[in-house]
Amino acid sequence: MSHPLAASSDGSWLNDPAHRAYLIRDAQRQLDFFDASLGQDGGLVTLDFTGTPLAGPQELITTTRLVHSYALAQIAGRPDNAGIIDRGMADLWTRHRDAQHGGYAWGVDENGITDGLKLAYGHAFVLLAAATAKQAGHPGADRLLADVSDIIDRHFWDDSVGLMRDEFTRDWQPFSTYRGMNANMHSVEAMLTAYEATGDMLYLTRASRILDFFVGRMAPAENWRLPEHYTDTWQIDRAYEGNPMFRPAGSTPGHSFELARLLLQMWDVSGRDGSDALVQARQLVDRALDDAWDTARGGFIYTLAADGSVARDARYWWPVTEAIGVLAALIKLDPQPQDEVWYRRLWAFADQHLIDHARGGWFPELAADNSKAMDQFTGKPDIYHALQADLFPLVPTLSHSAKALAGKKPLAERLL
């Protein structure tokens, strides 16, 4: 391995100075790599493995995740010398925001909107970017937060069921009856962050209602696997298969890790009430670890059929990062021996196979022999998942991570 993961095997790695220095170093190298996301002609771009900008329109997911990630890093004390936050916030307001119909377009370029689809998934990330930018003190955060919250109120939030509708045309015409877990899960993430940024209870109430449906109702009924796809009456649609990255058929174990961490964040920020959040989180995590870890090659299987058998055996970086995040949360809250074993196993796997020690950033996809693959992705699609895997274990909290990251010393000076 290129860098020591920890100085010794004694105690928890979360408290090991060498491991913490490793996390900070990887975060810094990721940020150094993704500084090149500021395109020469304006806008934010995706990068190939070497950090060279890739051609194509600017997507909402790229803009929002970069703003969120760089705002977190700025809060932690790493200056945004590349100007990613300012550029991204400007692009959200002047490029992605649809001045004619309202809402935020999925694809844009220097000439305007290239893909006017209005997705709950994309708007959840606009809310996340605005909320994190607000915590970083960005002057454009309040107007963006107010605008996207209004759009969510008027078009996406279905108060009759306490869940998000998924998709509309550019002029807000419904064109499908699809409902999905992914957009709702990321809406929970955004709403919890917006609550932490503003104190507005509406965000917290809505996040709770979404979690109640998926964790309180669906997961127990499905042996703690989370069905991804639903009809407009919120019946499971097991036959559905859409985009192979965002809407693959079956269940996605990586989302169980992510939702479990958000459940613990919700429980923590709500005052650690008498709910079953910890038990439920462990059920989700244990099921996903048992179902999806590839014992021969390492990494997590991407999707499963309803009976838990393998549906798509592709292995991506982001389920590893999300498992790291929730295991760190469990270690902080209720450490069990297996949590530490898994936490170390996942970092060892990431260090050996996913982290680009030569240039920075993480490789997104592995071939059968654990070499780099490019079947689903071209280049390194974003910094969001992997940066959070570095930063969240550094703080002692389960919620208000941005506040906890705001230390007295800049991130660059915290290397040991």
Confidence of residue 245 (pLDDT cuts 50, 70, 90): confident
The answer to whether residues 135 and 144 touch, using CB atoms and an 8 Å cutoff, is no
229 is catalytic: no
What are the structural domains of the chain? 13-414 (1.50.10.10)
Q: Which residues pair with 303 in a beta bridge?
A: 312
Residue 398: DSSP 8-state:
S
First to last CA, the chain: 19
List the catalytic residue out of 19, 123, 385, 400: 385
∠ CA 387-375-312, rounded to 5°? 85
Token pair for residue 217? 């109702």
- Residue whose structure tokens are 């649609």: 237
Rounded Cα distance between 245 and 342, Å, is: 26
For residue 255, indicate whether it is catalytic.
yes
Average pLDDT of the chain is 94
Alpha helix stretches (DSSP H) within 35-117:
60-75, 84-91
Does residue 408 carry a pLDDT above 60? no
Residue 97 to residue 145: CA distance in whole angstroms: 12
pTM given for the model: 0.96
Which H or E element spans position 157? Answer: strand 157-158
Task: Give Cα separations from 17 to 2, 12, 13, 169 (angstroms).
Answer: 17, 10, 8, 51
pLDDT digits (tens, 9 = 90+) for 91-144: 999 999 999 999 999 999 989 999 999 999 999 999 999 999 999 999 999 999
Query: Which region, left, alpha or beta, applies to residue 415 given φ > 0 means left and ψ of -120 to 50 means alpha?
Result: beta
Q: Tens of pLDDT along 152-205? A: 999 999 999 999 999 999 999 999 999 999 999 999 999 999 999 999 999 999
Condensed to tens digits (0 to 9), the pLDDT of residues 290-331 reads 999 999 999 999 999 989 999 999 999 999 999 999 999 999
Confidence of residue 10 (pLDDT cuts 50, 70, 90): low
- Measured on CA atoms in the order 19, 24, 26, 27, is the torsion positive or negative? positive
CB 365 within 8 A of CB 376: yes
How many other C-beta atoms are found inside a 10 Å radius of the C-beta of residue 377? Answer: 17
Nearest Cα residue to 316 out of 358, 247, 372, 361 = 372
How many other C-beta atoms lie within 10 A of the C-beta of residue 12? Answer: 17
pLDDT (tens digit per residue) in 345-358: 999 999 999 999 99
19, 68, 186, 255: which is the annotated catalytic residue? 255
